[in-house]
Copies of this chain bind each other. A is one copy, B any other.
Amino acid sequence: MRKNEIKREQSINALVDTALKLFSQNGYEATSIRMIAKEAEVSLGLMYNYFKSKEELLLEIFRRGSEDIHMSFEEGLANSEANVSEVAQHINQTVRLLKEKKLFWKLLHGIRMQTTVVHALKTQIEEQAKLIETKIKQNLSTAGFPHPELEAKLLFASIDGMASHYLLLDNYPIDDVASLLIRKYDKQ
């Protein structure tokens, strides 16, 4: 019967969305299943019909988040503007993604410092970071920067720091900061 599948899907989505919101707001540990269930307007135990544990729910959030980011980047590549440098495009895309998936990024930035939380995530997060850095390096290499390896580390840090501040502060002028950053690298 199809109805069941729809209800199932709805419940799962409500749980994942609510959990993302609360985890990113309060942190993983400080958010209780009870809070999630109440805010998602489902019963306390329902989560456990679909996820083996609270941790599994967190992993699902990251699974979806990673996929979204991946897709969004691919999409961005397809629509690349002709007269814009690769570095500029990378930064612009990051900014766009930050705005679109703000909660996910907040969760990511809040959780990545904690050694203990979810070992499975650590690896995943680090690999993704490594990937981004590599991409930046290639872009800088293409743009003719000397020492692209080190330059990539710096640019990655700048972008990441900007992201942190955007996530942390209200009314952070990320567009302006990003523009300035782009100018610095385009000017070469």
CB of A58 to closest CB in B, whole Å: 13
Assembled-state Cα–Cα distance A160/B159 (Å): 10
Q: Which of B30, B156, B160, B168 contacts A112 (CB 8 A)?
A: B168
Q: How large is the interface on A (under 10, 10 to 19, 20 to 34, 35 or more residues)?
A: 35 or more
Any chain B CB within 8 A of the CB of A81? no
Specify how many copies of this chain sit in the oligomer: 4
- Is the Cβ of B164 less than 8 Å from the Cβ of A157? yes
- Is A71 close to B, CB under 8 A? no
A26 touches B (CB below 8 Å): yes
**Among A27, A156, A165, residue most surrounded by chain B Cβ atoms (within 10 Å):** A27
The 6 closest A-B pairs by CB, nearest first: A161-B161, A110-B113, A29-B29, A157-B161, A160-B161, A158-B158
Instruction: Pick 17 A–B contacts, CB within 8 A, sort by A.
Output: A27-B27, A27-B29, A27-B113, A27-B114, A30-B114, A110-B114, A150-B173, A150-B176, A150-B180, A151-B180, A154-B158, A154-B184, A156-B165, A157-B158, A160-B165, A164-B164, A184-B184
